[in-house]
Structures are given as structure tokens and as C-alpha cells.
Amino acid sequence: MNLPDKVTLVEVGPRDGLQNQSHTLTPAERVEFIERLSQAGLSQIEAGSFVSPTQIPQMANTDQVFAGLKSNDAVRYFALVPNLQGLEAAIDAGVKDIAVFTAASDTFTHKNINCSIAESLDRIALLMPVAQQTDLRVRGYVSCTLGCPYEGEIHPERVAEVAKALVDLGCYEISLGDTVGMGTPEQARQMIRTVSRQVPLPMLAAHFHDTYGQALANLYAVLQEGITVIDSAVAGLGGCPYARGASGNVATEDVLYMLNGLGIETGVDMNALLAANHYVCSRLDHINHSKVAAVLQPLHP
């Protein structure tokens, strides 16, 4: 069986997970949540986004969140930025790593950010010189890689084209998102094979939602293809406000349990992760979407 020895889990709960919740955490609560995640051994955490608070109030005061985080050389905290204004706010907040986003579906980008894929790439191109001048690392997100809520099937060649464009602009890593969670294992496998002809495998990450209950199966398939970076959210937090029917991200606890069972090293401690789960779910009054946490949580309150 061809599986990696080690996988990096990228925790997206504090941004992608919280942005679609009906309850908004205070900056202090968000800092506490993130600190608990870092204590669990997660080395890359998406800590927030610099977007309009009118559009996404859950991400308001992200500058205060970054100001409240303890310096930790073992953890990289990054933030999503949509435009130059967001980038400037991130730089002012001392952010060292940022993420930019587009999609493999024109209809989705129009619904999400009111532009085409090509226009979204042009917007990202405007950010890159500023990011390079300030030594920021830039991660790229591609949404709708295994299907679109508006267009349906997305051809892997389109995903590869968009991913390669982001690499050419200067992104160090491309996170391939199944935004609606509609992909199946063979689709996921073929998508990775196609994209990896344009972008080296070490530069690719899998970001799968679990709407149809396929996320773990899809991750297992792409692990066999050589993927070693997985995005996930504690308690299965998340969803997409612009993709009808999209449920949460695959739960970090569920991914960790699978990886532990496969003997794949992550450096993440399950008990500490469950403590972070308990903290955030109790603050959000949120139903826990992690099957593993639902079983183990009573044992580790």
C-alpha cells in the first residue's frame, strides 16, 4: 500500500469553520480556541480573514486575534485576504502567512466574489508584488474542484489550469477544495493525478467537505496518490455561505483517527484536540459533527 509516513494537518476551523456559524465568538474566545489547537500539536492554523465585517461579521476584529496570539515558532498562523485592502490590514496586524482564493467554476466565483475566474486571478496578481516585498508566504485555495453547486461537474483539466496559474503567480501551496463535498474517491484520485501533471504533488493539499459523507474515503484515495497535506476543521465546523447545501469541513478528529490507524505521523494529540473541540462547541452551542469526538468526548471531557 502506497501511503505517506507523515501528513501535515492544516486546521481551518478558526476561519473556514467559524465564518458560517450563527453565533460570533469574541476575539478573546477565538484566541483561546486557536491556542488550544496549537497546544494539540497543529502546526498550521488558519486563524482568521481580513474581509468586510459587514459581509462576514464572524471574522470581524481578526487583527485583535493576531495581536492576542502568543508567539510560537512551532506554529504558522495564516489569514485569508480577498483584496489589497485586506492584505494591507493583514500586514498591519503582523501576519506572516496569507491565503488567497479562486475557484474552478466561473459561476461560483461570480456568486462568491462577483467576478470570473480570470478576473479573480488578476486580483490575486495585484497582491503578489506587495506580498513578496513584505516576505509573506502565500497559499492558494481553489474551490469547487470536484463539483459546483451551480455548474455540476468540473473537469479536472480546469482545476489543473487554475492551480498552475496560482503557482505561476507565486503561491507556495495549492489547497484543492471539494466545496460542496460531492466528490467520490475515484473522482478525487483522477483530479489529483491531473493536477499533479501541472503542479508538483508536494505543493498540493486536499480540502474536502463531508456533505455526502465521502470526505474520509476521498482523503484515503488521494493519500495513495501522494498527498501529504490535509485541511480539516475541529468538530467538522464550516460550510460555505455561497454554496447551497455545503455542510462542514471534514472533522480533524476523524481525519486524525484514520491517520493514526494507518500509522501515519501527524504530531497531533487526540486528547488535546478533543479539549479544543469541547471548548469551541460549548461557546458556539454547536452540534459536534465529528463522529470520533462524539464517541471519545465523554471519556475525555
164 within domain boundaries = yes
Q: Alpha-carbon distance 204 to 226, whole Å?
A: 9
Say yes or no to pLDDT of 210 above 80: yes
Q: Alpha-carbon distance 239 to 180, whole Å?
A: 8
**pTM for the full model?**
0.96
- CATH at residue 218: 3.20.20.70
What pLDDT, on a 0 to 100 scale, did the predictor assign at position 139?
Answer: 98
N residues, the chain: 301
Report the pLDDT averaged over residues 108-122: 92
Q: Which residues are catalytic?
A: 240
Report the pLDDT averaged over residues 23-43: 97
Say yes or no to pLDDT of 242 above 80: no
CB burial string 238-253: b at 16+ within 10 A, e below: bbbebbeebbbbbbbb
1 within domain boundaries = no
Say yes or no to pLDDT of 93 above 70: yes
3-state DSSP call for residue 55? coil
Report the pLDDT averaged over residues 285-290: 87
Counted domains in the chain: 1
With 0-12 CB in 10 A as exposed, 13-18 as middle and 19+ as buried, what is 55? exposed
Share of the chain above pLDDT 90, in %: 88
268 within domain boundaries = yes
Say yes or no to pLDDT of 256 above 60: yes
Q: Which domain holds residue 39?
A: 8-299
Q: Alpha-carbon distance 114 to 204, whole Å?
A: 26
pLDDT band, very low/low/confident/very high, at 214 (cuts 50, 70, 90)? very high
Say yes or no to pLDDT of 69 above 90: yes
Say yes or no to pLDDT of 47 above 90: yes
Report the pLDDT averaged over residues 152-156: 96
222 within domain boundaries = yes
Say yes or no to pLDDT of 299 above 70: no
154 within domain boundaries = yes
User: What contacts 72, CB < 8 A, 6 or more positions away?
Assistant: 38
- AA letter at 147: G
